[in-house]
A and B are shown apart, each in its own frame.
Chain A
Amino acid sequence: MSMDKDHLSPEELSLSVVDEKGLAGQSRDHLKHCPVCQRGRQELVRQLDLVGKSARQYAPEPVRKIVLPVEEEQRKGWSLSWGFTLKLAAAAALLVLTVSWLVQFRYSPEIDQNLIAREMVQDEKLMIEISMLEEDSLPASYREILPEGASDVSDEDIYDFVVPIS
Protein backbone atom coordinates (compact mmCIF):
# COMPACT_ATOMS: atom_id res chain seq x y z
CA MET A 1 0.00 0.00 0.00
CA SER A 2 1.47 3.34 -1.01
CA MET A 3 1.75 6.22 1.48
CA ASP A 4 -0.47 8.44 -0.73
CA LYS A 5 -3.40 6.10 -0.36
CA ASP A 6 -3.21 6.40 3.39
CA HIS A 7 -3.15 10.22 3.45
CA LEU A 8 -5.94 11.89 5.32
CA SER A 9 -8.84 13.14 3.22
CA PRO A 10 -9.44 16.93 3.27
CA GLU A 11 -12.49 16.33 5.49
CA GLU A 12 -10.34 14.34 7.91
CA LEU A 13 -7.87 17.22 7.98
CA SER A 14 -10.71 19.57 8.92
CA LEU A 15 -11.83 17.14 11.61
CA SER A 16 -8.29 16.86 12.96
CA VAL A 17 -8.23 20.63 13.54
CA VAL A 18 -11.47 20.51 15.52
CA ASP A 19 -11.18 17.20 17.33
CA GLU A 20 -8.20 14.97 16.68
CA LYS A 21 -9.67 12.27 18.90
CA GLY A 22 -12.65 12.18 16.58
CA LEU A 23 -10.46 10.66 13.84
CA ALA A 24 -10.47 6.89 13.36
CA GLY A 25 -7.54 5.18 15.09
CA GLN A 26 -5.77 4.38 11.79
CA SER A 27 -6.04 7.95 10.52
CA ARG A 28 -4.83 9.30 13.85
CA ASP A 29 -1.79 7.03 13.68
CA HIS A 30 -1.13 8.10 10.11
CA LEU A 31 -1.27 11.78 11.04
CA LYS A 32 1.29 11.23 13.76
CA HIS A 33 3.83 9.89 11.28
CA CYS A 34 3.00 11.53 7.93
CA PRO A 35 4.77 14.88 7.36
CA VAL A 36 2.55 15.61 4.33
CA CYS A 37 -0.67 15.35 6.37
CA GLN A 38 0.90 17.24 9.28
CA ARG A 39 1.81 20.09 6.90
CA GLY A 40 -1.71 20.12 5.46
CA ARG A 41 -3.17 20.29 8.91
CA GLN A 42 -0.74 22.95 10.08
CA GLU A 43 -1.50 25.10 7.07
CA LEU A 44 -5.23 24.97 7.84
CA VAL A 45 -4.54 25.79 11.48
CA ARG A 46 -2.29 28.68 10.41
CA GLN A 47 -4.98 30.12 8.18
CA LEU A 48 -7.57 29.92 10.94
CA ASP A 49 -5.13 31.45 13.38
CA LEU A 50 -4.43 34.26 10.94
CA VAL A 51 -8.13 35.04 10.65
CA GLY A 52 -8.30 35.45 14.44
CA LYS A 53 -5.13 37.57 14.60
CA SER A 54 -6.26 39.79 11.70
CA ALA A 55 -9.65 40.34 13.29
CA ARG A 56 -7.93 41.41 16.48
CA GLN A 57 -5.56 43.69 14.58
CA TYR A 58 -8.24 45.34 12.47
CA ALA A 59 -10.75 45.83 15.28
CA PRO A 60 -10.64 49.15 17.15
CA GLU A 61 -9.75 49.42 20.82
CA PRO A 62 -12.38 50.48 23.35
CA VAL A 63 -12.00 54.08 24.46
CA ARG A 64 -14.85 54.48 26.89
CA LYS A 65 -14.29 53.71 30.57
CA ILE A 66 -16.73 51.24 32.12
CA VAL A 67 -18.83 52.96 34.77
CA LEU A 68 -20.04 50.81 37.65
CA PRO A 69 -23.11 51.51 39.79
CA VAL A 70 -22.73 53.51 43.01
CA GLU A 71 -21.21 51.87 46.08
CA GLU A 72 -23.32 49.66 48.33
CA GLU A 73 -22.83 52.05 51.28
CA GLN A 74 -24.29 54.89 49.26
CA ARG A 75 -27.13 52.68 48.16
CA LYS A 76 -27.76 51.79 51.80
CA GLY A 77 -27.90 55.49 52.66
CA TRP A 78 -30.41 56.01 49.92
CA SER A 79 -32.48 53.07 51.08
CA LEU A 80 -32.53 54.50 54.63
CA SER A 81 -33.79 57.86 53.47
CA TRP A 82 -36.29 56.09 51.28
CA GLY A 83 -37.51 54.16 54.34
CA PHE A 84 -37.75 57.35 56.33
CA THR A 85 -39.62 59.07 53.50
CA LEU A 86 -41.98 56.14 53.32
CA LYS A 87 -42.71 56.32 57.05
CA LEU A 88 -43.23 60.08 56.81
CA ALA A 89 -45.64 59.63 53.92
CA ALA A 90 -47.58 56.98 55.86
CA ALA A 91 -47.85 59.29 58.90
CA ALA A 92 -49.01 62.17 56.70
CA ALA A 93 -51.62 59.97 55.06
CA LEU A 94 -52.86 58.83 58.48
CA LEU A 95 -53.11 62.45 59.66
CA VAL A 96 -55.05 63.47 56.55
CA LEU A 97 -57.42 60.54 57.02
CA THR A 98 -58.01 61.38 60.70
CA VAL A 99 -58.63 65.06 60.02
CA SER A 100 -60.96 64.36 57.14
CA TRP A 101 -62.86 61.83 59.27
CA LEU A 102 -63.26 64.37 62.07
CA VAL A 103 -64.39 67.05 59.67
CA GLN A 104 -66.84 64.64 58.17
CA PHE A 105 -68.18 63.77 61.61
CA ARG A 106 -68.49 67.37 62.82
CA TYR A 107 -69.94 68.90 59.72
CA SER A 108 -71.95 66.12 58.30
CA PRO A 109 -74.85 67.21 56.02
CA GLU A 110 -77.36 65.72 58.49
CA ILE A 111 -76.07 67.89 61.34
CA ASP A 112 -75.99 70.93 59.13
CA GLN A 113 -79.64 70.43 58.14
CA ASN A 114 -80.75 70.22 61.81
CA LEU A 115 -78.89 73.38 62.61
CA ILE A 116 -80.45 75.21 59.68
CA ALA A 117 -83.93 73.98 60.67
CA ARG A 118 -83.48 75.31 64.23
CA GLU A 119 -82.23 78.62 62.97
CA MET A 120 -85.20 78.87 60.60
CA VAL A 121 -87.65 78.34 63.48
CA GLN A 122 -85.93 81.04 65.51
CA ASP A 123 -85.97 83.38 62.52
CA GLU A 124 -89.66 82.75 62.06
CA LYS A 125 -90.38 83.56 65.75
CA LEU A 126 -88.37 86.74 65.44
CA MET A 127 -90.27 87.77 62.30
CA ILE A 128 -93.61 87.17 64.09
CA GLU A 129 -92.51 89.37 67.01
CA ILE A 130 -91.40 92.08 64.58
CA SER A 131 -94.73 91.94 62.76
CA MET A 132 -96.61 92.19 66.08
CA LEU A 133 -94.57 95.17 67.15
CA GLU A 134 -95.24 96.83 63.80
CA GLU A 135 -98.97 96.40 64.37
CA ASP A 136 -98.93 97.41 68.06
CA SER A 137 -95.73 98.67 69.55
CA LEU A 138 -97.21 99.32 73.07
CA PRO A 139 -96.50 96.84 75.78
CA ALA A 140 -99.51 94.72 76.79
CA SER A 141 -99.57 96.29 80.31
CA TYR A 142 -100.66 99.61 78.81
CA ARG A 143 -103.67 97.95 77.17
CA GLU A 144 -104.84 96.78 80.59
CA ILE A 145 -105.41 100.33 81.86
CA LEU A 146 -107.69 101.30 78.95
CA PRO A 147 -111.45 101.52 79.65
CA GLU A 148 -113.57 98.57 78.57
CA GLY A 149 -114.87 98.70 75.01
CA ALA A 150 -112.03 100.94 73.83
CA SER A 151 -110.61 98.33 71.55
CA ASP A 152 -110.23 100.50 68.48
CA VAL A 153 -108.19 103.14 70.33
CA SER A 154 -105.01 104.06 68.47
CA ASP A 155 -101.58 104.25 69.98
CA GLU A 156 -101.59 108.03 69.78
CA ASP A 157 -104.82 108.20 71.83
CA ILE A 158 -103.31 106.01 74.49
CA TYR A 159 -100.21 108.19 74.65
CA ASP A 160 -102.47 111.27 75.04
CA PHE A 161 -104.43 109.46 77.70
CA VAL A 162 -101.37 108.38 79.67
CA VAL A 163 -99.36 111.55 79.18
CA PRO A 164 -101.84 114.39 78.47
CA ILE A 165 -100.52 117.26 76.41
CA SER A 166 -101.07 120.39 78.36
Chain B
Amino acid sequence: MDGLEQYDDQVVNPDDAAALAEAVKMAAAGDRRAFEGLIARFQGDIFRMVYYRTSSRMDAEDITQEIFMNAYRGVKGLKDPGMFRSWLYRIALNAVRDFYRKKRLRSIFTFFSPQHDEEHASRDDSSLDHLEKKQFWDRLGAFLSRLSDAEKEVFRLRFLDGLGIKEVSVVLGKNESTVKTHLYRAVDKFRKEQELCGFPLEESL
Protein backbone atom coordinates (compact mmCIF):
# COMPACT_ATOMS: atom_id res chain seq x y z
CA MET B 1 0.00 0.00 0.00
CA ASP B 2 1.23 3.45 -0.79
CA GLY B 3 2.22 5.31 2.34
CA LEU B 4 1.04 8.69 1.15
CA GLU B 5 -2.37 7.31 0.33
CA GLN B 6 -2.41 5.64 3.71
CA TYR B 7 -1.94 9.02 5.39
CA ASP B 8 -4.35 10.75 3.08
CA ASP B 9 -6.97 8.22 4.17
CA GLN B 10 -6.78 9.76 7.62
CA VAL B 11 -7.94 13.01 6.11
CA VAL B 12 -11.73 13.37 5.95
CA ASN B 13 -13.04 11.18 3.10
CA PRO B 14 -15.26 12.74 0.40
CA ASP B 15 -18.56 11.42 1.79
CA ASP B 16 -17.75 12.72 5.23
CA ALA B 17 -16.46 15.94 3.70
CA ALA B 18 -19.84 16.57 2.05
CA ALA B 19 -21.71 15.90 5.29
CA LEU B 20 -19.22 18.01 7.18
CA ALA B 21 -19.59 20.92 4.75
CA GLU B 22 -23.37 20.73 5.16
CA ALA B 23 -23.07 20.76 8.96
CA VAL B 24 -20.68 23.72 8.78
CA LYS B 25 -23.11 25.61 6.51
CA MET B 26 -25.92 25.03 8.99
CA ALA B 27 -23.74 26.09 11.91
CA ALA B 28 -22.70 29.21 10.02
CA ALA B 29 -26.39 30.02 9.51
CA GLY B 30 -26.82 30.00 13.29
CA ASP B 31 -27.89 26.39 13.86
CA ARG B 32 -26.62 25.68 17.37
CA ARG B 33 -27.31 21.95 17.16
CA ALA B 34 -25.25 21.71 13.98
CA PHE B 35 -22.35 23.31 15.77
CA GLU B 36 -22.79 20.92 18.69
CA GLY B 37 -22.49 18.12 16.13
CA LEU B 38 -19.19 19.62 14.98
CA ILE B 39 -18.02 19.72 18.58
CA ALA B 40 -18.92 16.06 19.06
CA ARG B 41 -16.93 15.22 15.97
CA PHE B 42 -13.81 17.27 16.61
CA GLN B 43 -13.50 17.68 20.38
CA GLY B 44 -11.34 14.59 20.79
CA ASP B 45 -9.01 15.51 17.93
CA ILE B 46 -8.61 19.09 19.08
CA PHE B 47 -8.13 18.07 22.71
CA ARG B 48 -5.36 15.64 21.71
CA MET B 49 -3.79 18.21 19.40
CA VAL B 50 -3.54 20.60 22.34
CA TYR B 51 -2.40 17.86 24.72
CA TYR B 52 0.46 16.86 22.37
CA ARG B 53 1.71 20.43 22.67
CA THR B 54 1.07 21.22 26.33
CA SER B 55 1.53 17.81 27.99
CA SER B 56 -1.13 18.88 30.48
CA ARG B 57 -4.62 17.46 30.60
CA MET B 58 -6.08 20.40 32.50
CA ASP B 59 -4.57 22.98 30.17
CA ALA B 60 -5.75 20.93 27.19
CA GLU B 61 -9.32 20.94 28.55
CA ASP B 62 -9.26 24.72 29.13
CA ILE B 63 -7.71 25.53 25.77
CA THR B 64 -10.10 23.19 23.92
CA GLN B 65 -13.04 25.02 25.49
CA GLU B 66 -11.57 28.34 24.38
CA ILE B 67 -10.97 27.03 20.84
CA PHE B 68 -14.58 25.95 20.37
CA MET B 69 -15.87 29.22 21.82
CA ASN B 70 -13.77 31.12 19.29
CA ALA B 71 -14.90 28.81 16.50
CA TYR B 72 -18.56 29.26 17.49
CA ARG B 73 -18.19 33.03 17.35
CA GLY B 74 -16.30 32.97 14.07
CA VAL B 75 -18.02 30.22 12.08
CA LYS B 76 -20.43 32.74 10.48
CA GLY B 77 -17.47 34.35 8.76
CA LEU B 78 -16.08 31.09 7.33
CA LYS B 79 -16.42 31.46 3.58
CA ASP B 80 -15.54 27.91 2.48
CA PRO B 81 -17.23 25.21 4.61
CA GLY B 82 -14.81 22.67 3.13
CA MET B 83 -11.97 24.40 4.96
CA PHE B 84 -13.55 23.97 8.39
CA ARG B 85 -11.06 21.42 9.70
CA SER B 86 -8.01 23.44 8.64
CA TRP B 87 -9.65 26.58 10.01
CA LEU B 88 -10.36 24.87 13.34
CA TYR B 89 -6.78 23.61 13.64
CA ARG B 90 -5.53 27.09 12.85
CA ILE B 91 -7.61 28.48 15.71
CA ALA B 92 -6.26 25.68 17.89
CA LEU B 93 -2.65 26.38 16.99
CA ASN B 94 -3.11 30.08 17.70
CA ALA B 95 -4.69 29.23 21.06
CA VAL B 96 -1.71 27.02 21.96
CA ARG B 97 0.73 29.75 20.94
CA ASP B 98 -1.26 32.24 23.01
CA PHE B 99 -1.12 29.87 25.97
CA TYR B 100 2.68 29.70 25.77
CA ARG B 101 2.97 33.48 25.38
CA LYS B 102 0.94 33.97 28.57
CA LYS B 103 2.91 31.25 30.32
CA ARG B 104 6.21 32.92 29.43
CA LEU B 105 4.85 36.24 30.65
CA ARG B 106 3.77 34.66 33.93
CA SER B 107 7.16 33.01 34.37
CA ILE B 108 8.81 36.45 34.28
CA PHE B 109 6.95 37.31 37.49
CA THR B 110 7.63 34.05 39.27
CA PHE B 111 10.90 32.78 40.68
CA PHE B 112 10.51 29.26 39.41
CA SER B 113 8.81 27.78 36.42
CA PRO B 114 6.79 24.71 37.42
CA GLN B 115 7.89 21.64 35.53
CA HIS B 116 5.48 19.30 37.26
CA ASP B 117 2.65 19.88 34.80
CA GLU B 118 4.26 17.29 32.56
CA GLU B 119 1.60 14.74 33.30
CA HIS B 120 1.70 12.44 30.32
CA ALA B 121 1.41 9.41 32.57
CA SER B 122 -1.73 9.49 34.66
CA ARG B 123 -1.55 8.44 38.31
CA ASP B 124 -4.48 6.09 37.72
CA ASP B 125 -2.50 3.92 35.33
CA SER B 126 -1.05 0.61 36.38
CA SER B 127 2.71 0.74 36.72
CA LEU B 128 3.25 -1.08 33.39
CA ASP B 129 0.95 1.27 31.47
CA HIS B 130 2.53 4.15 33.27
CA LEU B 131 5.99 3.02 32.19
CA GLU B 132 4.93 2.45 28.57
CA LYS B 133 3.31 5.86 28.33
CA LYS B 134 6.23 7.55 29.96
CA GLN B 135 8.68 5.79 27.64
CA PHE B 136 6.70 6.76 24.57
CA TRP B 137 6.36 10.43 25.49
CA ASP B 138 10.01 10.60 26.54
CA ARG B 139 11.10 9.12 23.20
CA LEU B 140 8.84 11.41 21.22
CA GLY B 141 10.00 14.40 23.25
CA ALA B 142 13.63 13.44 22.69
CA PHE B 143 13.07 13.18 18.95
CA LEU B 144 11.08 16.41 18.66
CA SER B 145 13.77 18.27 20.59
CA ARG B 146 16.13 17.54 17.68
CA LEU B 147 13.87 19.36 15.21
CA SER B 148 13.63 23.05 14.47
CA ASP B 149 10.37 24.74 15.49
CA ALA B 150 9.05 24.69 11.91
CA GLU B 151 9.97 21.02 11.40
CA LYS B 152 8.46 20.10 14.75
CA GLU B 153 5.12 21.75 14.00
CA VAL B 154 4.85 20.31 10.52
CA PHE B 155 5.74 16.83 11.82
CA ARG B 156 3.13 17.01 14.58
CA LEU B 157 0.36 18.27 12.29
CA ARG B 158 1.09 15.62 9.69
CA PHE B 159 1.84 12.51 11.72
CA LEU B 160 0.29 13.10 15.15
CA ASP B 161 -2.77 15.10 14.14
CA GLY B 162 -3.15 13.30 10.82
CA LEU B 163 -3.62 16.34 8.58
CA GLY B 164 -2.87 16.27 4.86
CA ILE B 165 -0.10 18.45 3.43
CA LYS B 166 -2.59 20.91 1.97
CA GLU B 167 -4.32 21.22 5.32
CA VAL B 168 -0.99 21.71 7.08
CA SER B 169 -0.16 24.51 4.66
CA VAL B 170 -3.52 26.20 5.41
CA VAL B 171 -3.09 25.81 9.17
CA LEU B 172 0.40 27.27 9.12
CA GLY B 173 -0.29 29.85 6.42
CA LYS B 174 2.67 28.60 4.38
CA ASN B 175 2.79 27.33 0.85
CA GLU B 176 2.81 23.59 0.20
CA SER B 177 6.40 23.43 -1.06
CA THR B 178 7.65 25.06 2.15
CA VAL B 179 5.64 22.55 4.19
CA LYS B 180 7.08 19.67 2.15
CA THR B 181 10.61 20.94 2.67
CA HIS B 182 10.20 21.13 6.46
CA LEU B 183 8.44 17.78 6.49
CA TYR B 184 11.15 16.11 4.40
CA ARG B 185 13.82 17.34 6.84
CA ALA B 186 11.80 16.11 9.81
CA VAL B 187 11.14 12.69 8.26
CA ASP B 188 14.79 12.31 7.26
CA LYS B 189 15.85 13.11 10.84
CA PHE B 190 13.31 10.57 12.06
CA ARG B 191 14.78 7.95 9.73
CA LYS B 192 18.31 8.70 10.91
CA GLU B 193 17.63 9.12 14.59
CA GLN B 194 14.65 6.91 15.34
CA GLU B 195 16.78 4.23 16.95
CA LEU B 196 18.78 6.83 18.84
CA CYS B 197 15.55 8.15 20.33
CA GLY B 198 14.24 4.69 21.24
CA PHE B 199 12.17 4.07 18.13
CA PRO B 200 11.21 1.80 16.39
CA LEU B 201 8.29 1.09 18.63
CA GLU B 202 6.94 -2.37 19.09
CA GLU B 203 3.58 -2.69 17.45
CA SER B 204 1.22 -3.67 20.22
CA LEU B 205 -1.75 -1.65 19.12
A interface residues (Cβ-Cβ under 8 A, vs B): 10-11, 13-20, 22, 41-42, 44-64, 66-69, 71-72
Contact = CB atoms under 8 A, between A and B. Distances in A.
Interface in B136-152: 136-137, 140
B90 interface: no
A48 B187 contact: yes
Interface in B4-46: 4, 6-7, 10, 30, 32, 35-36, 39, 43-44
Given A47-B200, A51-B190, A61-B44, 16 more contacts: A14-B187, A18-B183, A41-B3, A44-B190, A49-B3, A49-B6, A50-B203, A51-B160, A58-B132, A58-B136, A60-B57, A62-B47, A68-B36, A68-B69, A68-B72, A72-B30
Interface of B: 1-4, 6-7, 10, 30, 32, 35-36, 39, 43-44, 47-48, 51-52, 57, 60-61, 64-65, 68-69, 72-73, 120, 122, 132-133, 136-137, 140, 159-160, 162, 165, 180, 183-184, 187-188, 190-192, 194, 199-201, 203, 205
Contacts of B36: 68
Chain A interface main SS type: helix
Contacts of A57: 205
Contacts of A48: 3, 159, 187, 190
Contacts of B10: 52
A49 B159 CA distance: 7
A50 B200 contact: yes
A47 B194 CA distance: 9
Scoring B3, B65, B184, B205 by chain A CB atoms within 10 A of each residue's CB, the highest score goes to B3
Nearest to B187: A14
